[in-house]
Structure 1
């Protein structure tokens, strides 16, 4: 009885025309579930707006943790005459064209002649090569 009701409902929903051609029987009931698409990685790093500043970085360390993530830390030194903000992005994995998650932190208003330590935790890893990018964003 249930299959008759389902067949009638499908016929009504599909707008059956009363054709005499028999439909091939299916051994499994039709499902309306379609495979879910894989989510695309969300960009976690803001687009760099400034100038590269690798010389501002020192004492950089990037190491794996026990939980399949990495931790990165270092020191940023501002040798300019004005306060600046630095954007530090860390990525662990190969350098190829595949889009992967990057961890980013902005270290705001580092005083002229000053230095600040930073630390990024839970950096996702897709390999064992650690890459860092430092961007100087001018303030004032």
Structure 2
């Protein structure tokens, strides 16, 4: 149950942390020929898909030596009948409702009955507890 709550809280975090504004900037001086600046798309979109924590095994999350960034790795297994694409998101720190940066990796389709290893470097850390979320994406 605790893992599910962590995953739900992490779900709200995924896609956050972009320093870009979603609002278009106004031109410095208006002119008749100026076209509006398009809105900036966030770096990481909100996740879409169904939580599938059972696809993850051999998960490891550890801090680097002497303050270097955290890393995470694991094995994703597709037990479904069709090929599946997965999204793995990892965050190190408290689940306190604040917006935090999350490291996300999209895994290419895995065929039914097969597995694929993944490695994530430079996982953002704001504490010492590692949280992971696995989504099966459309």
Distance in 2, matches of 1:121 and 1:60, equals 14
Note the 1:64-75 alignment, pairs <5 A: 64-66=63-65, 67-75=67-75
Whether the 8 Å CA contact 2:17–2:102 is kept in 1: the answer is no
Give secondary structure in 2 for the equivalent of 1:49: coil
Q: What's the RMSD between the two structures over aligned residues? A: 1.7
Runs (4+) off by over 2 Å = 43-46
Q: By how many angstroms is 1:48 displaced?
A: 1.5
Question: Could you say which residue in structure 2 is the equivalent of 1:61?
Answer: 60
Deviates more, 1:41-50 or 1:107-116: 41-50
Q: TM-score with structure 1 length normalisation?
A: 0.66
Q: Which runs of 5+ in 2 are unaligned?
A: 1-15, 19-41
Note the 1:66-105 alignment, pairs <5 A: 66=65, 67-105=67-105
Change (3 A) 1:75 1:117: same
Question: Could you say which residue in structure 2 is the equivalent of 1:108?
Answer: 108
Q: Report the count of equivalent residues.
A: 99
Q: TM-score with structure 2 length normalisation?
A: 0.67
Give a deviation string over 1:51-104, Cα, whole Å, max 9, x none.
Answer: 000000000000001243200000000001110000000000000111111000
Whether the 8 Å CA contact 1:44–1:102 is kept in 2: the answer is no
Q: Which runs of 5+ in 1 are unaligned?
A: 1-39
Distance in 1, matches of 2:55 and 2:94, equals 24
Q: Whose radius of gyration is greater, 1 or 2?
A: 1
Distance in 2, matches of 1:127 and 1:44, equals 23
Question: Could you say which residue in structure 1 is the equivalent of 2:129?
Answer: 129
